[in-house]
Structure 1
Amino acid sequence: MFSLSPVSPDNTFRKKRIERVCKMIADHVARHGHCRIIDLGGTRGFWEVWRDMIDFDTVSITCVNIDVAAQPPAEVDLPIEVIEGSACDLPQYADNAFDLVFSNSVIEHVGLWPNKVAFAREARRLAPSYFIQTPNYGFPIEPHARFPMLHWLPRPMAYRIHMLMRTGFYPKAATLDDAMFAAEDAIMLDRRQMRHLFPDATVESERFFGLAKSLMAIRHKPAESARIAEAA
């Protein structure tokens, strides 16, 4: 069944992302016997959805989130640590403290450009591999509000729409403050911006009916390529 639910294992797009990440995990396990993942802006619940696809005997995950209190209690006992913090500033972790940085639909929520630059800097330094996904600004449907072209409108028009009706994940705004929060909650990126933020990555498209729905910045050296490089 085709699903766009963010908490369903039937979500085709997320499942394909996790399949890709699992291949990256396998390369690190092949080299080191384990894979340490840091999920920037992630939640325990996200990984619980995909727990049947991951061998947690060789994988440990640290989720960094600014709102740990809002996360539901663990459903199963997995090696997942959830810490409170900003994904834009993680000085407690040394360079390459992890094997893989993962982030799913987060960088669009960190605020204006300086914050996005800081987020990208942390993602690039924390591990040799990373997988950063974000909705594409060029896709005509705003994915959070589920509303056509809402992200292309000027803020004074966008907040008025949020005050008129429920928009996707956002309830109908009761106040102007609520409407402005919804209008400014996600500031999406285009391909050129992603390439600038992640110059050492391959930026790929995730397509829906031929249109680029999401962008993925991926930096990874497969296990076989790493062996060849070491032998050279």
Structure 2
Amino acid sequence: MMTNLFSTFDPSTLLYTQLNWMSMMISFMIIPSLFWLIPNRMNFLVQMMLMKLHMEFKILTKNNNTLIFISLFFFILINNFMGLFPYIFTSSSHLVFTLSFALPLWLSFMIFGWLNNTYYMFAHLMPQGTPPVLMPFMVCIETISNVIRPGTLAIRLSANMIAGHLLLTLLGNTGTMVDMLIFIVILVQFLLIILESAVAIIQSYVFAILSTLYSSETS
């Protein structure tokens, strides 16, 4: 209840908090953060990575539709790095995670290729210059290699993430039993973490680049 006309300008609420002052921040929340921030080194690094990936994927796909592959690369990269922190679930080491990306991508490429480029897809089953005697075997081999592509994509990523984490776990358990060699174990674990960081980048890049190659074969 207002006591006088100027009580509407009272900044305090009924709970004696200063929530009304939050109205000052609404305009700052609407305006994008890039309006206020000067581009820093992290922004330059991300922009450089985006341009490099776009140029490489554009050459393979022969068009400018590279957003899905760049997004896939960064999403897998972030999940791989998050798994290196203690007590954080490594989602990229499970086939549920990797197959959920590999299988829909492969199915969409196959459906698009067989519906729009049927003759090209049939011709792709027979490599150029194959002897007539080997043609039936080459068709079977190419069909099998095409069918197992989502499985190889998923298993490659999950197996590499599992292998590194197992090594780190085994070394961590060994360090508690060998007190004299604790410094050597810590050094080896530090080197393994550097190796796992490189594997996280490489495997996300391999997953994205192979997906790009598979899409280029259907267009």
TM range (shorter): under 0.3
Greater strand content: 1
TM norm structure 1: 0.24
Mark the structure with the bigger radius of gyration.
2
TM norm structure 2: 0.25
Bigger relative contact order (CA 8 A; separation at least 6) = 2
